[in-house]
């Protein structure tokens, strides 16, 4: 959600103007239900907290990466949180990581019941039980989108991740490959292709980035690059 600006004056109680709801509005089809207006206002508030670095998902990320760094566990942040680092601003409510399967098992042995739980037993679908934030861990060697064998697989963060003081991410070309591979084979993952197109537009990526991608996804990147150059008439 690039450009999400949420001034505090917009976040008023659903009771504002409630006295007017007893009659038809002077314009518009109908009054919005108070519950719907409250949900909209909370969405705006979440945008504000996210872009100020105070959303629950960011607090959960800081806690999780601090644990992984302290334990020396290789990982890489993927998904929309990484997208923000690469140059496209988008709000998200969950955390996506790639880890080796053995490291995931070791993490669960240490931390399940101590701030984390499994949403689906025996998988990498976890939840931060203190903050209610979903954590999805994708295992090295599995395949994006439909989990069927293909030339693109989730990489080993021990050899691929780019590390900072507090976070580790994949190099942008590896992230793009995962998104493209997922969107190309899984119809329900079409948003992955949109993420790449929006990143191309927002970050001004050059078509030359295609040369750093696996040939299996290169043509799709070039297709999306050309689409991203179109001028929006609105």
Q: What is the mean pLDDT of residues 176-188?
A: 97
Angle between helix 215-228 and 172-185 (nearest 10): 90
User: For residue 1, what pLDDT is reported?
Assistant: 42
How far is it, in rounded angstroms, from Cα 24 to Cα 56? 39
Q: Degrees (nearest 5) of the Cα angle 37, 42, 44?
A: 100
What burial class does residue 134 get, using C-beta atoms within 10 Å of its C-beta: 0-12 exposed, 13-18 middle, 19+ buried? middle
How far is it, in rounded angstroms, from Cα 139 to Cα 178? 13
Element (H, E) at 133: strand 133-139
| DSSP-derived secondary structure letter, 230 | S
Largest CA distance in the chain: 65
What percent of the chain has a predicted confidence (pLDDT) above 70? 89
37 φ/ψ angles, rounded to the nearest 5 degrees: -65, -35
pLDDT tens per residue across span 32-51: 888 888 888 887 776 777 77
Question: Is CATH 3.30.460.40 correct for 56-228?
Answer: yes
SS3 125: strand
CA end-to-end span of the chain: 17
Q: What is the mean pLDDT of residues 60-72?
A: 96
Mean pLDDT of the chain: 89
pLDDT tens per residue across span 189-205: 999 999 999 999 999 99
pLDDT band at 21 (very low <50, low <70, confident <90, very high): low
Distances (CA, A) of 123 to 34, 77, 101, 137, 150: 39, 18, 10, 8, 21
Residue with the bigger pLDDT between 87 and 21: it is 87
Is residue 218 pLDDT above 70, yes or no? yes
pTM: 0.82
């Amino acid at each position: 959600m690039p450009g999400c600006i949420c001034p505090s004056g917009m976040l008023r109680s659903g009771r504002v103007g409630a006295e007017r709801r007893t009659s038809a509005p002077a314009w518009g089809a109908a009054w919005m239900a108070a519950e719907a207006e409250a949900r909209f206002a909370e969405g705006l508030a979440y945008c504000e907290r996210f872009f100020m670095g105070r959303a629950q998902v960011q607090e959960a990320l800081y806690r999780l990466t601090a644990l992984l760094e302290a334990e020396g566990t290789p990982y890489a942040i993927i998904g929309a949180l990484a997208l923000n680092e690469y140059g496209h601003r988008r709000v998200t409510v969950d955390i996506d990581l790639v880890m080796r399967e053995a490291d995931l098992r070791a993490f669960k042995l240490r931390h399940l019941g101590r701030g984390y739980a499994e949403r689906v037993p025996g998988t990498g679908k976890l939840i931060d039980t203190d903050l209610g934030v979903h954590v999805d861990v994708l295992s090295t060697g599995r395949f994006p989108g439909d989990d069927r064998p293909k030339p693109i697989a989730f990489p080993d963060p021990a050899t691929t991740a780019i590390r900072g003081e507090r976070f580790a991410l994949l190099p942008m070309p590896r992230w793009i490959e995962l998104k493209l591979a997922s969107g190309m084979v899984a119809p329900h993952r079409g948003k992955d292709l949109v993420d790449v197109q929006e990143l191309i537009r927002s970050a001004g990526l050059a078509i030359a980035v295609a040369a750093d991608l696996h040939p299996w996804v290169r043509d799709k990147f070039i297709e999306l690059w050309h689409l991203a150059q179109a001028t929006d008439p609105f």
